[in-house]
Amino acid sequence: MKKIVFILTFLLTGNIWTVFGQQQAFDLSRMLTENKLIIYPGKQVTQLNNDNKRGVSCNSIVWLKDVNFKQGTIEVDLRGKDVFLKSFLGIAFHGIDTNTCDILYFRPFNFRHADTLRRKWSVAYMSLPDNNYAVLRKEHPLVYENAVNPVPRPDEWFHATLVLKDKRLSVYVNHSPKPSLEVTLLNERTDGLFGLYADGLPGDFANLTITTEP
């Protein structure tokens, strides 16, 4: 009974996120209105309150204030654009700033591309500044990129689950039991800034939760 009262009290007091054990559920739309997102000059972040999604749309890295991520499970809904070479979106973590961070991201325009190789460039990991996608693709082809399975439509919402444990990152799409990508992180940072990543056209984000691990 005490646990139920605690949860209801937390929900009704207007907190931006709700804590259930080690899980935090982030209301990105509300965080935007309450200045809980770090938005860089010249970048745009807008509220998203349609399609039964409460979230945000952005076209850059947007850090969540006062969130330091070490390891655990990240759940998020994303929606990009079916525009060739113009839509990139995902999660940035273990960040020092926008130039030094790890990024797991999707290229929706490649999800169902006719070119088989391009389909294998649908989800990717990079570690800035030394290991961007061009370096990794040249030196380690198809190690840090892969196709997604199951394959969403390029312009529809899809769900991503990122599991980070002891420098091993596994990425699952639409609740599949089989990972679309598994990589080992390419730096020695064990924590840092956490945020949303988009490049090119704006990407949409909603239903973000983080379950932390020790």
Tally DSSP H helices, then E strands, for the chain: 4, 16
Mean pLDDT of 208-214: 92
CA distance 24 to 35: 18
Residue type for position 73? T
Q: How confident is the model at residue 25 (pLDDT cuts 50, 70, 90)?
A: very high
What is the percent of the chain where pLDDT is above 90? 86
Contact by Cβ (8 Å): 69, 24? no
Closest CA to 166 of 143, 182, 149, 177: 182
Instruction: Return mean pLDDT, the chain.
Output: 91
* Residue 1 pLDDT > 70: no
The pLDDT score that the predictor gives to residue 37 is 98
Residue type for position 170? S
Q: How many CB atoms lie within 10 A of CB 54?
A: 15
Residue 205, SS3? Answer: strand
- The answer for residues whose C-beta is within 8 angstroms of residue 79's C-beta and 6 or more apart is 155, 156, 157, 158, 203, 204
For 126, the token pair is 């990079």
The pLDDT score that the predictor gives to residue 4 is 39
The pLDDT score that the predictor gives to residue 6 is 36
Q: How many CB atoms lie within 10 A of CB 13?
A: 7
Which tens digits make up the pLDDT trace of 102-137?
999 999 999 999 999 999 999 999 999 999 999 999
CA distance 148 to 35: 34
Q: Looking at per-residue confidence, does 14 or 112 come out higher?
A: 112
Q: What are phi and psi of 209, to 5 degrees?
A: -135, 150
Q: How many CB atoms lie within 10 A of CB 175?
A: 10
* Residue 69 pLDDT > 70: yes
* Residue 11 pLDDT > 90: no
Contact by Cβ (8 Å): 82, 151? no
Global model pTM greater than 0.95: no
Q: Which neighbouring-strand residues pair with 196? A: 62, 91
Closest CA to 121 of 88, 92, 153: 88
Contact by Cβ (8 Å): 112, 94? no
Which burial class, exposed, middle or buried, applies to 125 when counting CB atoms under 10 A from its CB (0-12, 13-18, 19+)? buried
